[in-house]
Amino acid sequence: MKGRPSGGPSDYYALADRLYAQLLSWLLVSAYPLWATKGYDTERGGFHERLGEQGPVGGDPRRARVQVRQVYCFASAVTLGWNRDPTTLVTDGLEYFLRHYRRPDGLFRTLCAADGTPLDEHAFLYDQAFVLLALAETQRAVGRQAWIREEAHALMAALNRLLRRRGGGFESRDPGGLPLLSNPHMHLLEAALAWRTMSGDSLWRDLADEIAALALDRFIDRQSGALRESFAQDWSPMDGLPGRLVEPGHLYEWAWLLLRWRNERDCVIAARRLVGIADRYGVRDGVVINSLLDDLTPYDAHARLWPQTERLKVSARLAVVDESYWAAAAEAAQTLIQYLDAAGNGLWRDCMSPQKRFIEEPAPASNFYHIVCCIDELGRALNDGRRASSAG
């Protein structure tokens, strides 16, 4: 690790604290102002898919997930300390999305043109999960409003009516079909946990419990402890390559969510095991690679930005109760900064080659959600660490 301390956990905590200050400054001074102006389409509304050094990349179709992820990012700016009120950006972005992406059946289509013309009517569970997450964070940012809660309940009613499976969990898309996927369920768990903190409604607690149980019982392989991505109708792994793939970034992300779900022995053991597998087999020279096979050998040694943020999130959360994890948190933060510095000016690189060279291309807006979330999580963990130190 560059600048690796020679001391113990307290030194890694101090390093993580310095890196957090660097990341937060980048976010508030460079990234938020850039993406609030160049990243928002003031003519037609909505958020651009990609930004390059010269500004937005024109002509890109707009994915539903990007629109609501950007709403989430700017709603999060309230608690992160940005010196601009993001309310107009959040509400305008959400209004653009609800107007153009809603299907007559209550689910949201996956793709539109910039002017709102529908391009793909499929409704993916993954996208619906991020709609719920954006609504929860909007509720937090602008205050509890009945219409936001009603939107979330209406979407859950549509999910239960159109995508819920008799054998547990949800179809991955409408119309249904194989494979069943763990990843959309992961983000549905994230949304349920966000709503659980905002509402006393048992709907969200029950949904979180259901998905977490599905992960522990079906998604996580009992023998290896790793988590698979693609499944058949009975939640057994799909045949062939899809059923064998393991993504280290998702091991970290599931661990982070399970730790947020419940602080119980079995849950904590499973989460730590996921992290241990990802750290041992998925990290090369401080960088998290894209994927492994189920025998835990590398499959795709490229390294996208988002797995680095997931390692940072869960390492920081674990470090609050086990100081040895501050070393991994600091290493993940340093790696993330490389992706940001490689592009500069509030942008980022999305992918590093196995030869440790960044692929030069416009910054995808979809990564902003991952970056914002990990900076927020690191800040919370550092504050918790400070409180624990003061109490001790």
Based on DSSP, count helices (H) and strands (E) in the chain, helices before strands.
14, 16
- Tell me what the mean pLDDT of segment 291-317 comes to: 98
- Tell me what the mean pLDDT of segment 10-31 comes to: 97
User: Per-residue pLDDT tens for 244-288?
Assistant: 999 999 999 999 999 999 988 889 999 999 999 999 999 999 999
Q: What percent of the chain has pLDDT over 70?
A: 97
Take residue 53 and report the two structure tokens written for it: 């050094």
DSSP 8-class letter at 300: E
User: Per-residue pLDDT tens for 122-139?
Assistant: 999 999 999 999 999 999
Type of residue found at 207: L
Q: Evaluate if residue 92 carries a pLDDT over 70.
A: yes
Handedness of CA 281, 283, 289, 290 (dihedral sign): positive
- Could you tell me if 377 and 313 are in contact, meaning their C-beta atoms sit under 8 angstroms apart? yes
Up-side HSE of residue 350: CA atoms within 13 Å toward CB? 13
User: Per-residue pLDDT tens for 334-387?
Assistant: 999 999 999 999 999 999 999 999 999 999 999 999 999 999 999 999 999 887
Q: Say how many Å lie between the first and final Cα of the chain, rounded.
A: 29
Q: What are phi and psi of 230, to 5 degrees?
A: -125, 135
pLDDT (0 to 100) of residue 120: 98
- Could you tell me if 229 and 181 are in contact, meaning their C-beta atoms sit under 8 angstroms apart? yes
- Could you tell me if 201 and 210 are in contact, meaning their C-beta atoms sit under 8 angstroms apart? no
